Structure 1
């Protein structure tokens, strides 16, 4: 996409990235952010930044922040020791949705996984997001497994 750059998030991007939560009704319902959570988010950001298997990324359109996602590389012993790429928290700022930014971010992430030698790229998506599911299917993802979560 013309004018789009993807880079690792910096500490000064954290408010933008976490602000994308309040820009999404489904996310707001499960991910409220108060002063206490902000400290945990900063701690998580520092852990991601320090680990070469995890990246928090920011997409900029013509130099302005437009979206974000997290990309993780997961080693495994299954499938002959194959690595997996995990894409999480894909968000585009609401005024910029529908311009191809999300697709460009996903294609960039998929290519990074390919370059790292990953066997596959996986993600999860909330059942309340049928439009997102169509988006991922259009990119070639298949709903091949059922996902389960246990809140602790």
Structure 2
């Protein structure tokens, strides 16, 4: 299988990341892998923000997984810092290999290293397989989430 490297994303990773984001029914509606023009400026905003950690998993020079870890300082919970894991994706060829677990374990360890007291994530209500996956990794479905399109 080769050695796995989990590292910060670089601009050259954008096509592979966007392809993974688009490779499911929900992502196919939201992403545009054939037009990468909106992703460059978004990547630059992430790269300039020290609380954003866009991460890729690479094996044998190929990007095979990604996630975004956001660190949020706060006043609640006695001033606790928390992290949010978002946009977890594993390349179709790697699903079932344990890579998703490795990415989440990396994000939890990185959150601890960054002084976070809580790590949270959201998952679309339709992603029931993902819900079971996160529960196996020790996450609990503790809140109801809401979104509003702007």
Do the aligned partners of 1:71 and 1:109 also contact (CA within 8 Å) in 2?
Answer: yes
**Structure 1 vs Structure 2 CA RMSD:** 1.5
Q: In the alignment, what sits opposite 1:64?
A: 62
Q: In the alignment, what sits opposite 1:146?
A: 144
- Gaps in structure 2 of 5+ consecutive residues: none
Q: Equivalent residues in 2 for 1:110-149 (5 A)?
A: 110-149=108-147
- The TM-score with structure 2 as length reference comes to 0.93
CA distance in 2, matches of 1:132, 1:61: 23
The size of the alignment, in residue pairs, is 149
**Where has structure 1 moved over 3 Å in runs of 4 or more?**
none
CA-to-aligned-CA distance 1:21-77 (integer Å, 9 cap, x gap): 221122213x13163xx3332111001111110011110124321111101100111
CA distance in 1, matches of 2:62, 2:38: 26
- The TM-score with structure 1 as length reference comes to 0.92
